[in-house]
Structure 1
Amino acid sequence: MMNGSTGRRPIGRGRARAAAAALCLLAGALTAAASGGSPAAALTPPVSLTADDLTTWQTNGIVWSMAASDAGVVYTGGTFSTVRPPDAAAGTSEQPAVNFAAFDAATGAPTGCSLSFTLSSGTATVRALALSPDQKTLYVGGQFGAVSGVGVSNIAAIDTATCTPRQGFKVSVSATVRALAVTADTVYLGGDFNTVAGQTRNKFAAVTTGAALKPWTANTDEVGRAVELTPDQKHVLIGGDFFTVNGTASHALAVVDATTGAVAKSYPAGFIPNTSTVQDLTTDATGFYTANEGTGGGVFDGRIALNLGNFEQRWRDTCLGATQAVLVHNGVLYSGSHAHDCASMGEFPDQPRKHLLAQSVDDPKLLPWFPDTNDGIGEPVGPRVMAQTDKGGHHYLWVGGEFTTVNGSAQQGLTRFADGPDTGAPWVPNVSLSTVAAGEVEVNWQTSFDADDGELTYRIYKDGASTPVYTTTGYSLFWDRPQLRWTDTDVAAGETHSYRISASDGTNTSAKSPALSATVASTAQKYPAKVLADGASLYWRYDEGTSTFAADTGSGLDNGFLRNSPAYRQTPAAVAGASTAIGFNGSNQYAYSNKRHAQPTRFSVETWIKTTTTRGGKIIGFGNVTMQNSTQFDKHVYMRNDGRLIFGVYSGGARTVTTPAAYNDGAWHHVVATQGTGGMALYVDGQLRASNALYTANQNYSGYWRVGGDNLNNWPNQPTSSFFAGQIDETAVYPTALSGSQVSAHYALRTGG
């Protein structure tokens, strides 16, 4: 039903596979491939950095800026006063480091370079660092009045050989310097200032490396946050909050001449929405890339790739969750943000924030590289800056920011990643067995997750053997973990067999899953056979034990994710011959489908329920979000506080039908809701209980099937709880409207007859 906001600033390891093959896997359409397929390789190209964070010293505050030298020194600046060893708790083993520290890229430990950036009153901060092409000078910008006691004015030059301020570089800048870019003879700066060396320079300026103000002029009306030179050094890319450059309309981004500052390329209103800004810029040989953040409705928080040849857009992503930093390495754009909703570009829906992402410089599709931080202190937004360098035969990516954890462990302000070794194993697979058909065992499993590899190799071990009986590969991402299946026909009725599965990225292999056993059936189970014969596109039987996985028994392989640990193996089940049901607590437990579906214009939902609740709750429905309450939601069945059932769709308003009787009597009840050309129908225990022939339409949006709870705001007779307290079993979804005779036939098979 009702729409929530669609664009907003949040409070807030991929081989280049053929597209068709990737889509096939991502859709979960893969069944059993030939045993002995090509194994996965750790680090799925073009990703060339592991997601394993390396031991690194920490700061006690925010890291805003970085610069990395060819010699493998990483200079960091920000708002902090100490550094401490990795694993040291805040306030312990600290060493003074006043807004600046330098580290060995390969060890993560401080070097001997120590400087103090201070201000006579207020809080000093270092917001920009840039090395000269010859690496002999480190330029520093921010808000400070002295460097280790030497007077300066928001900008300084440091001799890298001696780690001392260059006394001959003195430039007065009237306010904070937030960005720097350097050539052999020029230092370009951006920030909050309006005068440099006593002359008007609004937000951007250029000085010689000898500290003389240059005539270069690129005046803007609002703050400058990013400065980057094109590789040929003929143009300067500028980014920030501004709306005009030298009087020319251009919001947040512009390309200007490196000699004069004249606008070479402006970007009209709407290219970047007025509610969004550019926080960072980076380049490679063919393009440049923006990091964007916004505030309010209709914002743009993602990244844009533009071509250097004509300065026009190559691609953009539309993830929500402000991007703060971008960096290119080996054809991959790495970014720091707090992305929480990438559904608009076919990626993960709105959910808890992800702070580090990777994309090909040629394609905005997210690559399988997902290390993570938390939001941390300050605003908070997580990562703020990135830098890279080589040392000792390895490449290192350093990340700084506001975060206080990395990959779930305490680590403040700084972290780093490298091109190897890869040490992180994939998650242990979640497995489920099915014996619905006679003379076979179906082994179903949910593809695993590995933080730096999308394609994994799975090996199935039968009856305790050390050699796998079956091997295959599958592609998965943290939000899209398609179900895979292997059918064991080398069995006989009455035999009991056990199965375990491991997942490997080619270098690291998970532990084997816990052994699960099944006894081979001699005849097909009649109830599930009928559900499958009638075309169920999703069929969850809830026979798992202690995983987060609801296996799809049908051909659609649309497995469910079980959230917040519902109660497994509830007995007795709703249908004779079925093993177990599942229990939901009525407050936060639910299941959602792995697949995102287009609007189902014709559908049936079927499930069994057992409850004594007087708080109502949603039993099954369709919603646009998975990890939290949906903002679009309809095609659902929910229970009122009094136990009566409502089937509702949204079509210009809430369209509902309601049962005259209550069903919160502690008995199992069979519930089916259908919509088709004949309108809406709600069946309970095999009989039509409510209908309306007029309502044949529902709301058009892509979403996920959810069981056990979701939003019910503003729906008629809204119950106290949006979540269902009780047991649920045998849930099925169909792409058609079941007939009354089909529904009654299903109910009649409840005793197994």
Structure 2
Amino acid sequence: MRKRLMAAGMACLGLSMLLVPPMSAGADTTPAPGEPATVTADALPTWQTDGVVLAMEIVNGVAYVGGNFDHVRPPGVPRGGAGEVARTGLAAFDAATGALLPWAPVATGPIFTDDVVQTECDNLGGNQYRCDTVWEIKASPDGSRLYVAGDFGKIGTERRYRIAAFDTATGALDPDFAPSPNSRVRALAVSDTTVFAGGHFTAVNDVTRTRLAAFNRADGALLPWAPTADKRVMAMVLSPSGTRLIVGGDFNRINNIWQHGLSAVNVSNGTKASFLSNDIPYNNSNSRSWVTDLVTDGTRVFASADGVGTFDGRLAVNPETGARIWINNCLGATQSISVMDGVLYSGSHAHRCDMQTYYEGNGFPETRPHRRFLAEPADTAQGVKQRVLHWFPNAQPGTTYPFVQGPWTMANDGTHLWAGGDFTQVNDVPQEGLTRFTTHDVSPDVTGPVQTNFQAPTAVANGGGKVTITWGATWDLDNRKVRYEVVRSDGQVACTAEANSVFWTLPNLSCADLGRVPGSVYKYRVRAIDPHNNRISSPSSPDVTVT
């Protein structure tokens, strides 16, 4: 930390060696040169749902969301409040403003069948197995079609078994695209000609298809392409070359060849493609990981993972070879990822990120509350340890799903980052199911440093007209650098300091007020100011008499 000495009777002293910025929190909305800037941590006004959002896609300026909700309502409105309207499983919003759009198909459902149980959907408690759940939404490359998938059996009055298509220009249900998988469709990938599907199903149109299938985009016809997965497929993405489909999930074998959790198949014929990744561990059923989401930036493929007793962070691989580029292993299941402007954003319940095997510097240790959103550089080079960027908005999770997750899905349009899930608050403000963020250039960062636990300073008279003021630093959700002004009770700034802070490492700071008249009595308070001049103030110190 560089100390600044202030003229005209002001001096600044640094008391802590912890003023050096932790390398694991290297970027924010005003990063150092060469570091990627994040979106702000300010949650923008966004409509809400009365249930869980599990799927999201942004196309043509519209944010389409799916899940297991029955209504949506304006920001700031409680459930059942003014302006609430019906939306069953699917809804659409203006991606830039968060406002509700008219599109309102109704997804309802039949009996849900998976690999283990066959039961009425609602009999397992809560809403976690609702028959009408939408699990996936993907757009065609040209943006003309929107494909949705899940557990539903109807869209409106039309039979659509677990997969359906819509015309994005009109919002109408595609009358020709109507395949019939026999169980949940959890993942989709769409090319110019083909819709690829993965999930729990074992047949489509009464033809054997073991958790992987492909359909003609024009008419929904089942294609001969028929690789197999021995257990559930949960995510998929086409490689940038378009020649292979990267698949993720909780499977052990693709086409009866062992490769747990993350693999690839050839688009041309469904054969298993060469894929080097072995980063999704399987030790036994009680010690394993599975891939929850896959995205690409056109160069790399990124995967997120959940796990039992093992890896549940994020990694990047070469999409044409499967070779690992980087990996991290923050503890706390990651359910969703989205890459935007060189930053990989994730939704999880991360609670520890200080494992030296993968991290540069020290990430945060075991912590409560869990961090529901994280960011990291997407383009970290092969062999370089990954780090967490300084972006720490948070959410209060709901209770619908086991293990109280929080975020379940993310998407962006290059300007706005949307997130959906099972949460009831964002940054301690009531907000259910949906939230969104954007860059400082689009919507200025207006939230100051964290007020909680920012205590009154201690002021000590040292003789000779000098008073030393000491305080504990606070931190900011999206800026690592915080400036401090110590304000005397006469309203003047007595001295200043500056520090880089993260929530797990808060330095003690001090500066000196010089040249005071002996016998004078003052109080002192501290203003904490972020790089965008957003500020908070501590309480005042007790009176101190200058000596």
Tell me the TM-score normalised to structure 1 length.
0.60
Matching residue within 468, 484, 487 for 1:461: 487
The equivalent residue for 1:382 is: 406
Aligned residues: 482
Whole-Å separation in 2 of the counterparts to 1:120 and 1:221: 24
Q: What are the superposed Cα offsets for residues 111-140 of structure 1, whole Å, 9 maximum, x if unpaired?
A: 111101112454211111111111111011
The equivalent residue for 1:480 is: 505
Within 5 Å, which residues of 2 pair with 1:207-356? 207-210=215-218, 211-266=220-275, 271-274=280-283, 275-295=288-308, 297=309, 299-308=310-319, 310-345=321-356, 346-350=362-366, 351-356=368-373
Helix, strand or coil for the counterpart of 1:67?
strand
The equivalent residue for 1:146 is: 154
| Alpha-carbon distance, 1:46 to partner | 2.1
Q: What are the superposed Cα offsets for residues 40-65 of structure 1, whole Å, 9 maximum, x if unpaired?
A: 99544523311111221111111110
The equivalent residue for 2:446 is: 423
Asked whether the equivalents of residues 220 and 244 of structure 1 are also in contact (C-alpha less than 8 Å), the reply is yes
Give the residue type in structure 2 aligned to 1:294: G
Whole-Å separation in 1 of the counterparts to 2:216 and 2:461: 78
Whole-Å separation in 1 of the counterparts to 2:431 and 2:523: 42
Helix, strand or coil for the counterpart of 2:536?
coil
Whole-Å separation in 2 of the counterparts to 1:312 and 1:365: 20
Whole-Å separation in 2 of the counterparts to 1:174 and 1:43: 50
Tell me the TM-score normalised to structure 2 length.
0.82
Helix, strand or coil for the counterpart of 1:344?
coil
The equivalent residue for 1:137 is: 145
The equivalent residue for 2:178 is: 170
Q: Cα RMSD (Å) of the superposition?
A: 2.6
Asked whether the equivalents of residues 41 and 506 of structure 1 are also in contact (C-alpha less than 8 Å), the reply is no
| Alpha-carbon distance, 1:501 to partner | 2.3
Structure with greater Cα Rg? 1
Q: What are the superposed Cα offsets for residues 287-317 of structure 1, whole Å, 9 maximum, x if unpaired?
A: 121111112x3x1121112234643222222
The equivalent residue for 2:58 is: 68
The equivalent residue for 1:565 is: none
**What 5-or-longer segments of structure 1 have no aligned partner?**
1-23, 32-39, 522-753
Whether 1:160 and 2:133 are equivalent positions in the alignment is no
Whole-Å separation in 2 of the counterparts to 1:465 and 1:193: 70
The equivalent residue for 2:193 is: 185
Cα distance, 1:469–1:160 mapped onto 2, change above 3 Å: same
Cα distance, 1:511–1:119 mapped onto 2, change above 3 Å: closer
**What 5-or-longer segments of structure 2 have no aligned partner?**
1-13, 22-26, 112-120, 122-130, 357-361
Cα distance, 1:84–1:41 mapped onto 2, change above 3 Å: closer
Asked whether the equivalents of residues 293 and 337 of structure 2 are also in contact (C-alpha less than 8 Å), the reply is yes
Cα distance, 1:286–1:446 mapped onto 2, change above 3 Å: farther
The equivalent residue for 1:569 is: none
Whole-Å separation in 1 of the counterparts to 2:149 and 2:280: 29
Asked whether the equivalents of residues 249 and 268 of structure 1 are also in contact (C-alpha less than 8 Å), the reply is no
Asked whether the equivalents of residues 110 and 151 of structure 2 are also in contact (C-alpha less than 8 Å), the reply is no
Runs of 4 or more, structure 1, over 6 Å off, are: none
Q: What are the superposed Cα offsets for residues 663-698 of structure 1, whole Å, 9 maximum, x if unpaired?
A: xxxxxxxxxxxxxxxxxxxxxxxxxxxxxxxxxxxx
Give the residue type in structure 1 aligned to 2:376: Q
Whole-Å separation in 2 of the counterparts to 1:139 and 1:26: 55
Helix, strand or coil for the counterpart of 1:28?
helix
Cα distance, 1:26–1:208 mapped onto 2, change above 3 Å: farther
Whether 1:510 and 2:535 are equivalent positions in the alignment is yes
Q: What are the superposed Cα offsets for residues 448-486 of structure 1, whole Å, 9 maximum, x if unpaired?
A: 2211111122223345244x3434421111222112222
Whole-Å separation in 1 of the counterparts to 2:161 and 2:178: 8
Cα distance, 1:196–1:91 mapped onto 2, change above 3 Å: same
Whole-Å separation in 2 of the counterparts to 1:177 and 1:41: 37
The equivalent residue for 2:422 is: 402
